[in-house]
Amino acid sequence: MDKQALRDKYRQERDKRLRSDGNDQYLQLKGQFAGFVEDPYTPRVERQARHDHVTVAFIGGGFAGLVTAARLVEAGIKDVRIIEKGGDFGGTWYWNRYPGAQCDTASMVYMPLLEETHHMPSEKYAHAPEILEHCQRIGKYYGLYDNAMFHTEVNTLEWNETEAHWDIGTNRGDKITAQFVAMGTGPLHVPKLPGIAGIESFKGHAFHTSRWDYQYTGGDPSGAFMENLADKRVAIIGTGATSVQCVPHLAKACKALFVFQRTPSSIDVRGNKPTDVEWFDKMATPGWQQRWLDNFTANQTGGEVDEDLVMDGWTELSRRIRAKVLSLPPEKMNYEGMMDALEDSDHEKMDEIRARVDSIVTDKKTAENLKAWYRQLCKRPCFHDEYLQAFNEPGTYLVDTNGKGVEKITERGVVVEGKEYAVDCIIYASGFEVGTEPTRRAGFDTVGRGGVKLSDYWAQGMRTKHGIHVHGFPNAFIVQPTQGANLISNVPHNLTESGKTIASIIKHTLDGGYKQVEVTREAEQEWIDLLLTGPGRPSVIGSPDCTPGYYNNEGQAMTAASKLSVGYPAGAVAYFDYISEWRESGNFEGLTLC
Ligand code: NDP
């Protein structure tokens, strides 16, 4: 392997894609595009505005809301209201119903509360309908439907000092008060469109993958054949994790499919299989899911473990790196030696992934264009066993844009390098807002003690203790991975732990007859100081050397704020140990109650 040549190639490919407009290259789904975000799945029912009080309001009905509410119910706190903009629970899995959608982390660890709700995932990587149904199962099992409000968006959230509660306003005219509020509004839930010249002029049909239009395509979320596309020429723009999952279905159904690619994804082996019921019954002894979660996290983050229960692409990635590092001679067991080993291991993997393209895709030029020239963690790694094969289907064409993106959209179709591809339908697999202002993505700002807005308090970056508590925002909790375990390979594990923690804090506050709980300024600062002693973001994820994407702020320089987008310095396993001890000690050190 000529390391330098490979590094040069990676850099050339990155440079081709760097653009000065970063996140501004994307369009918000407003004005002419507002219809793109309407809910195609559940009719909106008119209802009276509500004016009432709840003990806990949770904003967001995805995994974060469900697991936190479940733990609250288990703790005996039943007056929990989930407020959700979709028509049901599910969050990501409510919206993303495109054909082929499935989880990329093994179901046994990805799907929360399996043991509690007695569900066996049917496949190693469950498909979206099963995950959505599981969200509904959690909702029913814990009685969360009765108090929930769907198709409701919070638009004001303000701490009321006199009453010591939160005032919540919504787009349905509700005025609700809550003693405690928690938020799990999700990192990737606002769809975006590429800001391609002429995008507004297209006269055919168009939709975003997160609002799949089955009325137009035929078929259904289970992957049924999309019969209406048999006479259609279809363009799909984008080749990220979503496109990788739906292209095989489109390739089978469309008269002609044009896949417009700016940067290829890396596509490793998927290896999905049905769950063996007998094996599951024997394995699922009490505490099984926690054992799997702990085992996955330890394997994935390079912890000390004898076995790998999950055996997937994520744990293989870490196993490979560990083996490489352990094979180093004693004189190379230093920082440089390890970075070298990491790079070698990455180059080997990416060579394997590129060779896989050649072994599957028959057209040589297409195969060449489907090869990813960057380190594996520069962009979201993908795993699939039918995506590359789809390019062998007659009528499926890869239109590579040489890193430049689509040039223009006309009323008839899509233009690349001066050539117009006339199509009946454009499907935007163009992803979701990540690097934009958190308040823009949430749709509201949180106003804490003394009228301080969260957006102002966080103007120089996120400030929390445990990624959950913010000083000046009493009785409020945030449920997400950053400044906590930051375990990106299995986000739900972060959420279930936060859910447990928040439930025990709220129970402790209520049992003690307290009205308020809040992190002290000092405790918040100590946590930030601790986070900053860590290695920062992993050397590859988010590196400016990477080809641009949402992992590295579209290739723009990292800001002071992004330095705070980190996790517990000792890693996810240590964080989970720490937080469980912190919670179980009952001292809730760093919080004040009054
Ligand atoms: P992404 O942001 O990953 O992909 C958007 C795609 O649109 C990219 O290929 C991007 O190219 C392309 N694009 C943007 N602008 C243009 C343009 N002007 N011309 C041509 N192409 C363009 O969105 P996804 O919806 O695929 O995935 C988002 C995230 O959601 C994933 O990374 C993953 O975290 C999650 N996800 C998880 C799944 C799972 O776990 N099963 C499944 C699907 C998604 P470029 O790369 O050059 O920017």
pLDDT tens digits, one per residue of 64-116: 999 999 999 999 999 999 999 999 999 999 999 999 999 999 999 999 999 99
Identify the CA nearest to 360 among candidates 399, 397, 390: 390
* pLDDT band per the 50, 70, 90 thresholds, residue 542: low
Q: Is 564 helix (H, G, I), strand (E, B) or coil?
A: helix
pLDDT at 544 over 80: no
Per-residue pLDDT tens for 370-398? Answer: 999 999 889 999 999 999 999 999 999 99
CA 267 to ligand 1 centroid distance, Å: 13
Atom 6 of ligand 1, residue of closest alpha carbon: 238
Q: Which DSSP letter does residue 558 get?
A: P
* pLDDT band per the 50, 70, 90 thresholds, residue 333: confident
Atom 31 of ligand 1, residue of closest alpha carbon: 241
CA 115 to ligand 1 centroid distance, Å: 32
* pLDDT band per the 50, 70, 90 thresholds, residue 537: low
Q: Are 477 and 464 in contact (CB under 8 A)?
A: no
173/195 same-domain check: no
**Burial of 391 by CB count in 10 Å (0-12 exposed, 13-18 middle, 19+ buried)?**
buried
The half-sphere exposure of 512 on its side-chain side, counting CA atoms within 13 A, is 16
pLDDT at 538 over 60: no
- Residue 94 is part of a domain; what is its CATH number? 3.50.50.60
Atom 33 of ligand 1, residue of closest alpha carbon: 241
Domain-embedded: residue 167: yes
**Domain stop point among 402, 428, 454:** 428
Pocket residue to mutate for ligand 1, from 36, 202, 262, 421, most atoms within 8 A of Cβ: 262
* pLDDT band per the 50, 70, 90 thresholds, residue 553: confident
Identify the CA nearest to 341 among candidates 539, 579, 58, 126: 539
Atom 22 of ligand 1, residue of closest alpha carbon: 238
Report the predicted TM-score, pTM, of the whole model to 2 decimal places. 0.95
The half-sphere exposure of 95 on its side-chain side, counting CA atoms within 13 A, is 27
Atom 32 of ligand 1, residue of closest alpha carbon: 380
Measured from the Cβ of residue 396, the count of other Cβ atoms closer than 10 Å reads 21
pLDDT at 59 over 80: yes
The whole-angstrom separation of Cα 266 and Cα 549 is 14
If residue 131 lies in a helix (H) or strand (E), which one and from where to where?
helix 128-141
CA 390 to ligand 1 centroid distance, Å: 18
CA 211 to ligand 1 centroid distance, Å: 15
206/78 same-domain check: no
196/182 same-domain check: no
The reported pLDDT for the residue numbered 160 is 98
Angle at 288 between CA 494 and CA 465, to 5 degrees: 20
Residue ranges in 218-265 assigned as alpha helix (H) = 241-253
CA 241 to ligand 1 centroid distance, Å: 6
* Number of domains, the chain: 2
The whole-angstrom separation of Cα 285 and Cα 279 is 11
* pLDDT band per the 50, 70, 90 thresholds, residue 540: low
* Ligand 1 nearest atom to the CA of residue 210, by list position: 25
The whole-angstrom separation of Cα 412 and Cα 425 is 9
* pLDDT band per the 50, 70, 90 thresholds, residue 442: confident
CA 117 to ligand 1 centroid distance, Å: 32
The whole-angstrom separation of Cα 262 and Cα 324 is 32
161/251 same-domain check: no
CA 260 to ligand 1 centroid distance, Å: 12
Biggest alpha carbon distance in the chain? 72
The whole-angstrom separation of Cα 313 and Cα 105 is 8
Q: Are 236 and 390 in contact (CB under 8 A)?
A: no
Atom 48 of ligand 1, residue of closest alpha carbon: 549
CA 428 to ligand 1 centroid distance, Å: 10
The reported pLDDT for the residue numbered 510 is 98
Contacts 24+ apart (CB under 8 A), 535-538: 535/569, 536/563, 536/566, 537/562, 537/565, 537/566, 538/377
Q: With both helix axes pointing from N to C terminus, report the angle between 491-511 and 63-74 in degrees, rounded to the nearest 10.
A: 40
Pocket residue to mutate for ligand 1, from 63, 96, 242, most atoms within 8 A of Cβ: 242
Domain-embedded: residue 304: no
The half-sphere exposure of 10 on its side-chain side, counting CA atoms within 13 A, is 24
Angle at 68 between CA 575 and CA 53, to 5 degrees: 135
Domain-embedded: residue 291: no
131/183 same-domain check: yes
115/255 same-domain check: no
**Domain stop point among 400, 428, 456:** 428
Which residues neighbour 93 within 8 Å (Cβ) at sequence distance 6 or greater? 62, 128, 131, 132, 135
121/236 same-domain check: no
What percent of the chain shows pLDDT beyond 90?
Answer: 79
CA 298 to ligand 1 centroid distance, Å: 28
Domain-embedded: residue 545: no
Atom 24 of ligand 1, residue of closest alpha carbon: 431
CA 31 centroid distance within chain:
26
24/83 same-domain check: no
Which residues neighbour 10 within 8 Å (Cβ) at sequence distance 6 or greater? 373, 374, 375, 545, 547
End-to-end Cα separation, the chain, in angstroms: 63
Torsion of CA 350, 355, 359, 360, to 10 degrees: 30
The reported pLDDT for the residue numbered 22 is 79
Domain-embedded: residue 351: yes
239/367 same-domain check: yes
120/217 same-domain check: no
**Which residue has 């975006």 as its token pair?**
192
Q: Are 312 and 298 in contact (CB under 8 A)?
A: no
Measured from the Cβ of residue 31, the count of other Cβ atoms closer than 10 Å reads 9
Query: If you average pLDDT over residues 12-19, what whole number do you get?
Result: 91
pLDDT at 303 over 70: yes
The whole-angstrom separation of Cα 353 and Cα 151 is 42
Identify the CA nearest to 283 among candidates 307, 309, 306, 311: 309
Pocket residue to mutate for ligand 1, from 239, 373, 416, 553, most atoms within 8 A of Cβ: 239
Counts for the chain of helices (H) and strands (E), in that order: 19, 21
One-character DSSP codes across 186-197? -SS-SB-EE--T
Domain-embedded: residue 356: yes
The full length of the chain comes to 594
* Ligand 1 nearest atom to the CA of residue 243, by list position: 26
215/97 same-domain check: no
Domain-embedded: residue 376: yes
Which residues neighbour 562 within 8 Å (Cβ) at sequence distance 6 or greater? 461, 537, 542, 553
Say which residue, 96 or 18, is predicted with more confidence: 96
SS3 content of the chain, % helix, strand, coil (to 5): 40, 15, 45
Its domain, for residue 62, covers 53-187+434-533+569-593
Could you tell me where the beta strands, DSSP code E, fall in 463-552?
Answer: 476-478, 517-519
Atom 4 of ligand 1, residue of closest alpha carbon: 240
If residue 154 lies in a helix (H) or strand (E), which one and from where to where?
strand 154-160
**Domain stop point among 428, 447, 480:** 428
pLDDT at 541 over 70: no
Look at 20-29, 269-278, 479-488, 530-539 and tell me which has the smallest mean pLDDT.
Answer: 530-539
The whole-angstrom separation of Cα 248 and Cα 389 is 8
* Ligand 1 nearest atom to the CA of residue 195, by list position: 18
Say which residue, 211 or 190, is predicted with more confidence: 211
The whole-angstrom separation of Cα 247 and Cα 366 is 15
Pocket residue to mutate for ligand 1, from 380, 387, 417, 553, most atoms within 8 A of Cβ: 380
Domain-embedded: residue 326: no
409/459 same-domain check: no
Ligand 1: list residues with CB < 6 Å.
17, 102-104, 188, 194, 196, 237-243, 245, 260, 262-263, 380, 401, 405-406, 429-432, 549-550
Query: If you average pLDDT over residues 48-69, what whole number do you get?
Result: 98
